[in-house]
Each structure stands twice: as C-alpha cells, then as structure tokens.
Chain A
Amino acid sequence: MFPITRATRKGAFALSPPQNRTLLLEALAGAVLGDLVFGRQAQLADKMHRGELHNRHDDYEELQKERTERRLRTLRDTRPSPPNYPGHIPLHTSEKLLMFLVSGVRAFFHPENGINIVQLGEASAFPVFLESLKNTMLSDTTGRRILRDKPDVKEDILKMETLEKLPKNTFGYVFYQWCRRQKVTPDTRAQVQYVDDPVHAFVFKRFRQCHDFYHALNNAPIVIEGEITIKALEAANMGVPMAALGALLAPLRLKPVQRKRLYEIYLPWAVRSGLSCKPLINVYWEEQLMRDVGELRAELGIYPPPDLRAMREARKAEIKELTAKYNILATKGVLR
C-alpha cells in the first residue's frame, strides 16, 4: 500500500513540491472564501441589512433587552429547584457528589480549615440520617419544643456576659470559661446552605451549634484530639455520618503518641458514653445554663474523660525536662 520511504516516515509535510503547492493553494482559497462568507465585513454587512448597525430599526432596543433577559434567565435557572429557605443553594446530585469528594479530600488534609468540615458535614448529611435525627427529636417532649421554638445560639441571645457572674458550679459558668479559654464564640457557626428540606436544615444547624456545648460539658479542648473525641461522641450518640468518618479517618494523620491516647482512652470513652447517655440533640441547652453541672451530667448519664489538656501539658513538661537534661550534660562534656 504505502511504500515505506523516507518521505512517509517524516509525515504529512514531506509531500512532493507539486502536492505541497496544491495543498497551500487550497488552504488559501478556503481561507479567502471563508472570510468572504463568515468574516468581519460580511457580519457587519448582514447587521446593516437587518437594521442593527447604524439606522437601527424601532424594535432593536426591545429585542436587545429580551435577549439579555433570556440569557440572564438561563444563568439563573441552573438550580434544580427554587430555594426552600433563605440561604439555600439547591444542588444537583452530581454536584453533591462532587462536593462530597472535594471536601472529603480537603478535610482530610486540612481539618483545621472550618470551611472543609462545614462542607463535608452538609455533603454527607444524607436525608435518611437527618430524618432519623428529626424523629429522635420528635419522639421527646424537649426535642419537640426545640423544633417548635427553633432557638438560635448566638452570643447576644445567650447573654454571655451574664454567664461570667454565675456561681462556679453552674453549666453556664463552665461554658463561659471554656469559650474564653479556647478563644472561641458560638457566633462562628456557619449557616446551613446545601441541605434541601428546611426542617432538616434546622436540625443540622442545631447539631452544628450544640457542638460547643458538648465540648464544654466534657471539658475537651479544641485541639485535634479533642475534636476527634467529640466527633466520636456525636457519631455514637446521634449517628452523624460526617462525625463517624472523621473519627475513623482523622486519627490516621496524628502522631503515634496522640493516636495511642485516642485509641486507648478517648475513643472508647466516647463510644461508651455516646451509646449509653441520653440523645444529646434533645437537650435544651439554653435552659440548662443555670443548672449545677454535676447534676446535668448525672441526668444525661455522661461523665468527662481524663483531662486531655493536663495530659498534653504533662508530656510537654517531660520532653522539656529531657531536653534540658541532655543539653546540660552536653555542655558538661558528658556526652562527648
């Protein structure tokens, strides 16, 4: 068929001069004719003929407005449904899956960035789980009251300044001290955007906002180990998918000492407490601020784990002592 000559091995450009010239002439002719039909001059001439260029016809403005409105409408109609509540962004199933994958990877590598956790939480909040959580709330009197009142957890609503003046054994005081020590405030909780049903959105928002109360009740700091512990507690108690994912996968990124502490002390505590205590989503935290914290813990059936902060500080002190000891020995010439 094709004799394997040097010409064919070099490819299409190794045509003989007459063939080369023909190809070039054909390309030029195509370009010129194409320009005549589709080029700028032809476009302008067509516009002039249609009355859109200089002496515009009477309907030109209207048609342009309609065109813009049509294009704006296509840009706005990209959502599968109109929003169900203020701030709602409906997503197609493929978009939800994409968000799940992207935020999952990002949250694994950067759990300290709040946005990643927020998005992963909403992407993994399947309607099945939210419906079961809603039913948990509906089957309890306090839960039903929370669903009816729809309380919002914010600094001014909680009146954080008054909490400082409460007796030291009240939950409100403990919560205030915990917030100030960790330098956080309940105002920083992001609003729910991607959950479709408005009641489910409120349930998820309540879950998100009560996270700090769990921390304060169990005296867990906001370091990664403390967060994993509380996530495991939430997973065991409420079955939150994202919390379960976090509690299972996040320890893989920790140092061995931290992992050991988690697997031996904190995760077992979290699972045991979560499974045995009352459903924490049904607690009306705003009303518990005045109560004695020991009494609250006994009623819920949850007791704090060993103090994580104290353990970490003890270990830091040990390491500091060791470093100081070996530095002194080095300067004394013992290790030479």
Chain B
Amino acid sequence: MLARSIVSRRSIATSARLLNGTTHFGSKTVPTEQKEKLVGNVFSSVASKYDVMNDVMSLGIHRLWKDHFINKLDPGKRANSRDPMQFIDVAGGSGDIAFGILDYAKAKHGDTVSTMDVVDINADMLKEGERRALEQGRYHRDPRVRFMVQNGETLDEIESNSKDVYTVSFGIRNFTNIQAGLNTAYRVLKPGGLFYCLEFSKIENPLLDCVYQQWAKVLPVMGSIVANDYDSYQYLVESIERFPDQESFKSMISKAGFQSAGYESLTGGICAIHWGVKV
C-alpha cells in the first residue's frame, strides 16, 4: 500500500508538470512553447539553403519581383464584400508569398478573415515556413492558415472549385508534369478564380542573355566551393533552361482551360508573371 501511494504521488506530480506546460526535448525538460522552437531549429538547414540559392541566383532582386507580384495581384477581401477570400500558395513552403499576401490584404483592405493554404511537396520546406511563422509571431496556430504536404500535380486534399486565387512562385518549374499542375490548378479554382504564377523565363534582351549564360556556367562551381553543393545549383540552372518561354507557357495555361491568359516579363525576361482566369 505504501508503494502504491508513492507511485500515485509521483504520477500526480508528473501530470501537474504537464499541466503547467513542460515537456521533454531529448533528455531535457522544457516548457512546451520552447520545444517547438527547438524542434524547428533541428530541421531548419535544408529549406534555408533554397532561400540562399534564390538570393544568389537573382542577386537579391527576387524580393523586388515578389513585391511587384503581390502588389499587382492586389489581394484581399474588399470592405463591401461579404465572403472571405480563399487563397492557396503552392510550392511556397517557406511562406514568403503566402504571408506577404495576408499582410497586404490586412494593410490595404483591412482583411483579417481570408484563409490561406500553404502547400508544398517537401515537408522540410513547410517546417521552415512554420518555423518562420513561429519566429515572427504571426500566422502560427492561426485557424486561417493551413500548412499541408501536398503534391502540386494532384492536390488530393484540396476540394475542387474551392479557391479564389492560386499562386505559385518559383515552384512550377520543379513539377515533373507542368501541364498536370496547370490542370489541377484549374480544378481547384472557383469559377472566376485567378491562376497567378511567377517563374524564371526566357530572357528577351540578347546582351542580358549572354551575361546570364556566363553566370549560369559559373554558378554550380561557385555553389560547390561556397556551399559545398554542386548538384543543387546545376539542377537549378538546368531547370530554368528547360522551362518553356513566355508564349509557350501562356499557351499551356490556355490549354488547361484558363481564359484571358497573359504574362508580364520582369527585368528583361529573367522572370515573368503569368496569369489566367477560370471562367
């Protein structure tokens, strides 16, 4: 009986600790909120290298492109509108476009009810996005924002005709079957929904193209010397080269069923914003 009372006292003590919000991280006991941070730290390096690669590839200009992308979209539920907007950001695990859209909607239109699905095929990228949300103290554990691991070519868990805006930024060139990705985007959008894509494209200025070719030849070696990662940068420059040019991608968008497909080249064609409307 004595042994039993000792055991029960210990279990009460344990449950009291958990009620106070402590948990285990390896061999240490830490408060629950802190554990999430520590877990996030363990998984951060894989996804952050993609940010570095974007920075190196575009010499930091990708931030300007993304700002223009969001400003041009002008997202947000208008004050005189009744229903919140449903956004989906595909292959944007690190969350920069997703959070940027929500911030813009709140700042410009006072929209705090629109929902955002952040979707990525790679769980590490999503972890990076959630970790950033946690660090910045916003959109983490927010019922408006969902982080899901999904394949952009099928989007199994996203219902058809459920999204107002489908954005994809520097992700669609990595799809194995780009047309399937576009068809899925068509399925997932509501009638009247917008497909909105930012991606590297064909450089129209021949001088700039020449300079870019030399840069692309040097980049994998620089990546291997500085980041010890030859293969990622080699894959990056090859995937950019394989991606169809502005007009071809526009016709692929039309082929998926979108109307009013169009594009805007940025910085001489280094990247381009493509759009299409589901009717």
Q: Which residues of A contact B (CB under 8 A)?
A: 43, 68, 71-72, 74-76, 78, 89, 91, 95, 98-99, 102-103, 115, 118-119, 193
Residues of A within 8 A of B242 (CB): 68, 72
A68-B241, A68-B242, A193-B230 given; A75·B216 CB < 8 A? yes
Contact call A102/B228, Cβ cutoff below 8 A? no
Q: How far is the CB of A94 from chain B (nearest CB, A)?
A: 10
Residues of B within 8 A of A98 (CB): 225
Digitize B213-242: 1 where CB-to-A-CB distance is under 8 Å, 0 elsewhere. Answer: 100111011001110101000100110011
Q: How far is the CB of B82 from chain A (nearest CB, A)?
A: 43
Counting chain B CB atoms within 10 Å of each CB, the highest count among A43, A71, A115 belongs to A71
Closest to A103 in B: B225
A68-B242, A75-B238, A89-B230 given; A95·B225 CB < 8 A? yes
How many residues from B make CB contacts under 8 Å with A? 17
Contact call B213/A74, Cβ cutoff below 8 A? yes
Q: Which residues of B contact A (CB under 8 A)?
A: 204, 213, 216-218, 220-221, 224-226, 228, 230, 234, 237-238, 241-242
8 pairs, A vs B, C-beta closer than 8 Å: A72-B242, A75-B238, A76-B238, A78-B217, A78-B220, A89-B230, A98-B225, A193-B224
A89-B230, A102-B226 given; A71·B213 CB < 8 A? yes
The docked-state distance in angstroms from the alpha carbon of A119 to that of B226 is 10
A72-B241, A75-B238 given; A119·B228 CB < 8 A? yes
Q: How far is the CB of B139 from chain A (nearest CB, A)?
A: 33
Minimum-distance CB pairs A-B, first 6: A99-B225, A115-B228, A78-B217, A89-B230, A95-B221, A72-B241
Residues of B within 8 A of A118 (CB): 228
Residues of B within 8 A of A76 (CB): 234, 238
Is the contact region of chain A dominated by helix, strand, or loop, or is it mixed? Answer: helix
Q: How many A-B residue pairs have CB under 8 A?
A: 38
Contacts A71-B241, A78-B220, A95-B225 known; 15 new A-B pairs at CB < 8 A: A43-B204, A68-B242, A72-B238, A74-B213, A74-B217, A75-B216, A75-B241, A76-B234, A78-B218, A98-B225, A102-B225, A102-B226, A103-B225, A115-B228, A193-B230
The docked-state distance in angstroms from the alpha carbon of A43 to that of B269 is 14
Q: How far is the CB of B207 from chain A (nearest CB, A)?
A: 11
The docked-state distance in angstroms from the alpha carbon of A91 to that of B226 is 14
Closest to B227 in A: A115
Q: How far is the CB of B208 from chain A (nearest CB, A)?
A: 14
The docked-state distance in angstroms from the alpha carbon of A102 to that of B227 is 11
Residues of B within 8 A of A95 (CB): 221, 225
The docked-state distance in angstroms from the alpha carbon of A74 to that of B241 is 11
Closest to B220 in A: A78
Residues of A within 8 A of B238 (CB): 72, 75-76
The docked-state distance in angstroms from the alpha carbon of A75 to that of B240 is 11
Residues of A within 8 A of B241 (CB): 68, 71-72, 75
The docked-state distance in angstroms from the alpha carbon of A102 to that of B216 is 21
Residues of A within 8 A of B225 (CB): 95, 98-99, 102-103, 119
The docked-state distance in angstroms from the alpha carbon of A95 to that of B217 is 13
Closest to B216 in A: A75
Closest to B247 in A: A53
Contact call B226/A75, Cβ cutoff below 8 A? no
Closest to A56 in B: B247
The docked-state distance in angstroms from the alpha carbon of A95 to that of B228 is 13
Residues of B within 8 A of A71 (CB): 213, 241
Contact call B228/A75, Cβ cutoff below 8 A? no
Closest to A119 in B: B228
Q: How far is the CB of B111 from chain A (nearest CB, A)?
A: 37
The docked-state distance in angstroms from the alpha carbon of A313 to that of B226 is 37
Closest to A99 in B: B225
Among B204, B221, B226, point to the contact of A78 (Cβ < 8 A).
B221
Closest to A102 in B: B225
The docked-state distance in angstroms from the alpha carbon of A71 to that of B237 is 11
Residues of A within 8 A of B220 (CB): 78
